[in-house]
């Protein structure tokens, strides 16, 4: 993980002392612990928006040859109302991960890519199918679904995978791209699981939510455009409720006890400001490069002890 932390530092990521650890849960195998105590309200992780991986920040030499341009991909995926915009962006990001992995396997792309430390098996290990009954308890939005509903959701995702795989194959044939660079369907499925379970929904252009958290911004502005993003370090934080076991949740439900949040941090977006004059009473925000000052920040909502896992009430 040393290469990962070095790459994060090079990208401008600032954080408290953190350690990555393997959890005993196959549905969420990676967790994040603090290696130093933090006070209530303290910023724990600060990530520049350009360090996030999404359809707005990935461009140019970072894009694999077999990946269709975003505009063409969205036109194909959303044609005739097949899927919504957020799902289409998720599929495009999954296609990026799959195409990147395939290109690294057959070319020297991985040796020169600045993304190599971020996209490895230690950071993004393989994830199981959450739509299986045994795994659904780890996802709050799926926990109350019946076996039939889970099967229907699994079929819907399978159709989305077929659609994305068809898009990649057609694009590769029209562009004369070697078939070896077009990812296999199983690799695409695994990439989509990574996006569904690890990606964070951010507002387009990283619209600032401060002083409130991101959940409050989305609740106050339900029409705000959202974009699925893989955010270094932050996407390792597990949802608070996924840390609870299904048995523990059932005991609380049977006893009539109201479940309390075990989260200890929140997610927000903000702008890093520069002041023209320290003596000036007026605050002037200077943003020389578009979106360069946008930040994704995690703050503590309670005192956190050394060695405690970070858990977030935000999916």
Q: Where are the domains of the chain?
A: 1-50+202-315, 53-198
Res. 281 pLDDT band, cuts 50 70 90:
very low
Residue 271's CB: how many other CB atoms inside 10 A? Answer: 16
Q: How far is CA 267 from CA 234, 272, 303, in A?
A: 9, 16, 16
Q: Report DSSP state, residue 206.
A: G
- Determine the pLDDT at residue 290: 65
Q: How many Å separate Cα 270 from the centre of its chain?
A: 18
Q: Is the pTM of this model over 0.85?
A: yes
Sign of CA dihedral 176, 178, 179, 182: negative
- Determine the pLDDT at residue 275: 42
Q: Residue 129 burial (CB < 10 Å; 0-12/13-18/19+)? A: middle
Q: In the predicted model, what is the mean pLDDT of residues 263-272?
A: 89
Res. 143 pLDDT band, cuts 50 70 90:
confident
Q: How many Å separate Cα 126 from the centre of its chain?
A: 15
The rounded distance, in Å, linking the Cα atoms of 56 and 225 is 12
The rounded distance, in Å, linking the Cα atoms of 64 and 93 is 12
For 13-136, list the strands marked E by DSSP.
14-15, 18-22, 30-34, 43-48
Contact 180, 79 (CB under 8 A): no
Res. 310 pLDDT band, cuts 50 70 90:
very high
Find out if CATH 2.170.270.10 is the number for domain 1-50+202-315. Answer: yes
Q: Residue 188 burial (CB < 10 Å; 0-12/13-18/19+)? A: buried
For 36-171, list the strands marked E by DSSP.
43-48
89-141 pLDDT per residue, tens: 999 999 999 999 888 887 765 555 778 889 888 899 999 998 888 888 777 77
Reference 8, options 234, 288, 290, 291; nearest CA is 234
Specify which residues 34 forms β-bridges with.
Answer: 18
- 265 φ/ψ angles, rounded to the nearest 5 degrees: -155, 160
Q: How far is CA 13 from CA 5, 130, 261, 298, in A?
A: 9, 30, 28, 12
Q: In the predicted model, what is the mean pLDDT of residues 286-298?
A: 75
The rounded distance, in Å, linking the Cα atoms of 237 and 6 is 19
170-209 pLDDT per residue, tens: 999 999 999 889 999 999 999 999 999 999 999 999 999 8
* Burial call 65-101: b when 16+ CB within 10 Å, e when fewer: bbbbebeebbebbeeeeebeeebbbbbbbbbbbbbbb
């Amino acid at each position: 993980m040393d290469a990962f932390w070095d790459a994060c530092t090079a990208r401008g990521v600032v954080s408290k002392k953190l350690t990555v650890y393997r959890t005993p849960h196959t549905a969420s195998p990676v967790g994040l612990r603090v290696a130093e105590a933090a006070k209530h309200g303290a910023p724990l992780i600060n990530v520049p928006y350009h360090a996030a991986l999404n359809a707005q920040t990935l461009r140019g030499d970072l894009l694999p040859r077999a990946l269709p341009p975003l505009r063409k991909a969205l036109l194909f995926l959303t044609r005739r109302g097949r899927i919504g915009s957020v799902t289409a962006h998720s599929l495009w990001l999954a296609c990026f991960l799959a195409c990147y992995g395939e290109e690294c396997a057959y070319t020297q792309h991985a040796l020169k890519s600045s993304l190599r430390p971020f996209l490895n098996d230690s950071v993004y290990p393989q994830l199981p199918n959450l739509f299986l009954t045994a795994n659904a308890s780890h996802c709050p939005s799926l926990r109350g679904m019946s076996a039939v509903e889970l099967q229907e959701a699994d079929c819907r995702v399978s159709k989305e995978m077929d659609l994305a795989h068809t898009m990649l194959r057609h694009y590769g044939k029209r562009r004369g791209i070697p078939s070896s660079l077009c990812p296999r369907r199983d690799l695409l499925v695994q990439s989509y699981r990574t996006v569904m379970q690890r990606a964070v929904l951010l507002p387009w252009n990283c619209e600032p939510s401060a002083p409130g958290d991101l959940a409050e911004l989305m609740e106050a502005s339900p029409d705000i455009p959202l974009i699925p993003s893989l955010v270094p370090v932050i996407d390792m934080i597990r949802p608070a409720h996924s840390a609870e076991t299904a048995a523990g949740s059932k005991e609380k439900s049977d006893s009539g006890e109201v479940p309390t949040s075990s989260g200890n941090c929140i997610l927000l977006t903000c702008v890093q400001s520069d002041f023209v004059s320290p003596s000036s009473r007026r605050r002037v925000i200077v943003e020389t490069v578009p979106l360069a000052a946008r930040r994704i920040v995690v703050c503590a909502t309670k005192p956190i002890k050394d060695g405690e896992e970070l858990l977030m009430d935000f999916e």
